[in-house]
Amino acid sequence: MTPRSALPLLVKICGVRTAEAVEAAIAAGADMLGLNFHPASPRYVEPGMAADLARRARGRAAIVALAVEPADAQLSALRSAVAPDLWQFHGAESLERIRDLRAVFGLPVMKALGVATAADLAAVPAYAAVSDRILLDAKPPKDAAYPGGHGRAFDWGVLAALPPGLPFMLSGGLAPENVGGAIRTIRAMGLNLAGVDVSSGVESAPGVKDPARISAFIAAAREADGV
């Protein structure tokens, strides 16, 4: 029997940019909604629009503010305008920077780490010690304009190098067609998969969420999780 966590798997829909996407994700049962504040991303959302999206989602799903190596001033402005439930840092933030931001802003932190080989997992325990959640994503192409998996999956087999009890969320190339297989594969390795995160895999075009694909993704994740 495939091992599973005692807690239900979290499902995060990242890069939502419209009220329609927010409503579709919540109706389908998303636990977390990601708002992307990195200007180079096709999923970037202006803080004013993000504030409206956050109001729609508040109390119905956790609001995650994604930033890349942000200045304190940017985070202060986002906290005032959007009032996120947690930060997601997706750049090359140091351990010390994560620790400081968590203390200064008083919000939980999800740290994203890029993975291509087992060697990339060496830093995970240290970041896990200063973060509330760890998100393992595919490393971006070398010429990429912004971080993230860019719709590409990495070899999930390399995750065997993780400490078995360390909880993490998975991203990178996930889609309705493969998320169930990813969950079953990783759980069969005896790892503590706490959640899955998707962005481009539920889009009809870059930055355009497809309600049918959102619903299919969440349904496939729930089925694989045994819910």
pLDDT digits (tens, 9 = 90+) for 143-168: 655 555 546 789 999 999 999 899 99
pLDDT at 153 (0 to 100): 87
The domain spanning residue 110 has which CATH number? 3.20.20.70
Task: Give residue 115's domain range.
Answer: 10-225
Instruction: Provide the whole-model pTM.
Output: 0.92
Q: Is residue 33 part of a domain?
A: yes
Number of Cβ within 10 Å of residue 50's Cβ equals: 22
Task: With both helix axes pointing from N to C terminus, report the angle between 179-188 and 211-225 in degrees, rounded to the nearest 10.
Answer: 20
pLDDT at 1 (0 to 100): 37
Q: Is residue 2 part of a domain?
A: no
Q: Is residue 105 part of a domain?
A: yes
Q: Is residue 5 part of a domain?
A: no
Q: Is residue 4 part of a domain?
A: no
98: left (phi over 0), alpha (psi -120 to 50) or beta: alpha
Q: Is residue 173 part of a domain?
A: yes
Q: Is residue 115 part of a domain?
A: yes
Q: How far apart are CA 10 and CA 111, in angstroms?
A: 16
pLDDT at 151 (0 to 100): 65
pLDDT at 139 (0 to 100): 86
Structural domain count of the chain: 1
Q: Is residue 46 part of a domain?
A: yes
